[in-house]
A and B are shown apart, each in its own frame.
Chain A
């Protein structure tokens, strides 16, 4: 059973009296543990699709099943809880809180969790997460004291603090140079391989998309290409092999 299943998703924006259809019937399935790249030129609808996948937006019509739940019709509060519990977000511009330490940034989502944990436990988990992304020595640094790559790793740690099954990354390397880009992408692969986190990468850059197991191409609101879709049906060993292959490429 797929972790994520979209059935005939339409999304239409209304600008004044004009109806602007952005997504025109997108259907796809993503299994748990996949590393998927969502590719498309700007204006293709890939960001809109990601917003819907990330429960930041609701489709105009169609069904969105996440973990056997129809989340496309959830209320705003329920979607907020869902985002908090089961999704992590990594943005192009990092979106860290300025003048707050790396640790504070990382544990920020915990304060919105419905099951509250103690401050000590939160800090312990935050340190653990920062250690996981290799920043144990930068706990008290503020974003302005960190390099771009380090900032993005703090953002990744923040996205993972609630141990979500799905991670969304919107152009995660857009603001990074090529060295740090590959560093961050390697981290995504690692997380996908070792922790089994489903990762959805949104990018327009083919070099970035190459790091994914599966590349979904979107153009003009429809899926035009879905390379590697059959991976789901392949044995696990093969998946691992592919990942190491792509790792070599970078």
Chain B
């Protein structure tokens, strides 16, 4: 018996009792529909969760200058100045897994507006791509300073929500001038609220300005002066020629040139360091690759030999990434459980009705055997029937589930993501359910004795 004839026989048999076929397959329809809808909605929420965790900075990779050590005493990370703006440009250029990068120059000092002042927990000198790295693209007011502002070291800045609240008290800060260490900055934009980070520190307590401005106009003289009280006295200490004697004094930015060097090359060597480079991997899965690429790039640029230690440190948000992947895994497993249970229920329904159908059609089976159907023909017929039922149910379920998730998207505005994998799996699984749960009834049918079956009332 050819397979297409078997399929046609099965379709005829199902057509003979369309209502029952419909009810039988309802279990599969609902099961597959639920799976598809759950997968689409689940994928949507999962990527929304991923996105929000990523916005907390899960994809960020922090590059810090290395450690200086003297006589076995380490000074901790950041104690040497080895990172340059050129490093940052090179990383952006040469690491394909890095989606964006921003240099960071940090300062901690007082910000003054009118008669109010505040010391933000971070004054970040950076480029506009900082906002991209931190996934902080929504501004509540104004606009982002430009790359041109960075090139020209323009005195512009953006404020975080906390700073705005403390300094402006309901006024709009955009266009106003604030002072940082007696340098006047024009406020061009206000960042959207971000709240506290995972460690509980306020991320909105921040001022962002072009890194060149911070570097050359603010921290150029106070790189290590993060202490506000020392900062106030700092203006006087700059003129104090004895300040170099003290450990808190500022380190030299420029390598000391010999007289001959100075004579040979009258141009000043402008060595600029930056405090950190903040980069973001394209996806959380690409973080290890991104770290590898950054390491290779920086080792090459810093001319570090194979056996030498690196003069920089790379940190990623392992903890957050772990949370992220465990959340996703949990979600997927949960969905899988629901899917399996609903398909199991659907399969039991199929088996139940197929058994009823075999009993009901005992005479038909007897007749088919009498006119020459072999046991395997009967087995195949019932198996194909149940597979056809399941596939039709699966198809209807896919449409139902997809429609359902689209409705959810339209009316509840939940994030929904199409999942072709789930659809392919649904087709395969419904065929498998048809075979597994159809096998026993089909086997029972094929084992019937034709004489008994013909006489069955």
Contact surface of A with B, Cβ cutoff 8 Å: 51, 54, 56-57, 76-77, 80-81, 83-85, 89, 91, 95, 97-100, 104, 108-109, 111-113, 116, 158-159, 162
Contact = CB atoms under 8 A, between A and B. Distances in A.
B451 A56 contact: yes
A185 to B, nearest CB: 21
A104 B11 CA distance: 13
B377 A112 contact: yes
Contacts of A158: 371
Contacts of A51: 451
7 contacts: A56-B450, A80-B377, A89-B371, A95-B454, A111-B5, A112-B371, A112-B377
A77 B367 CA distance: 15
A57 B370 CA distance: 11
Most buried by A among B2, B17, B367, B454: B367
Contacts of A162: 372
Most buried by A among B363, B370, B371: B371
A108 B370 contact: no
Contacts of B9: 111
A76 B369 CA distance: 10
B1 A112 contact: yes
Nearest to B4: A119
A112 B5 CA distance: 10
B11 to A, nearest CB: 12
A194 B88 CA distance: 101
Interface residues of B, number: 25
Nearest to A83: B372
B375 A84 contact: no
B12 A104 contact: yes
Contacts of B377: 80, 112
Given A54-B370, A91-B454, A112-B368, A99 B15 contact: yes
Interface of B: 1-2, 5, 9, 12, 15-17, 363-364, 366-377, 450-451, 454
Nearest to B363: A95
Given A83-B370, A83-B371, A85-B372, 8 more contacts: A81-B374, A89-B370, A98-B16, A100-B12, A108-B368, A112-B1, A112-B374, A113-B372
Contact of B16 (A83, A85, A100, A111): A100
A20 to B, nearest CB: 15
A97 B14 CA distance: 12
Contacts of A111: 1, 5, 9
A109 B371 contact: yes
Nearest to B6: A111
Contact of A80 (B366, B372, B454): B372
Most buried by B among A77, A83, A112, A158: A112
B10 to A, nearest CB: 12
Contacts of A77: 374-376
A23 B174 CA distance: 110
A49 to B, nearest CB: 12
Nearest to B369: A80
B46 to A, nearest CB: 48
A162 B371 CA distance: 10
A111 B3 CA distance: 10
Nearest to B373: A112
A97 B16 CA distance: 9
A85 B367 CA distance: 15
Contacts of B368: 108, 112
Contacts of B373: 80, 84, 112
Most buried by B among A54, A89, A113, A159: A89
B179 to A, nearest CB: 91
Most buried by A among B17, B363, B370: B370
Q: Which 8 A-B pairs have the closest CB atoms?
A: A84-B372, A99-B16, A109-B371, A112-B372, A80-B374, A95-B367, A77-B374, A112-B373
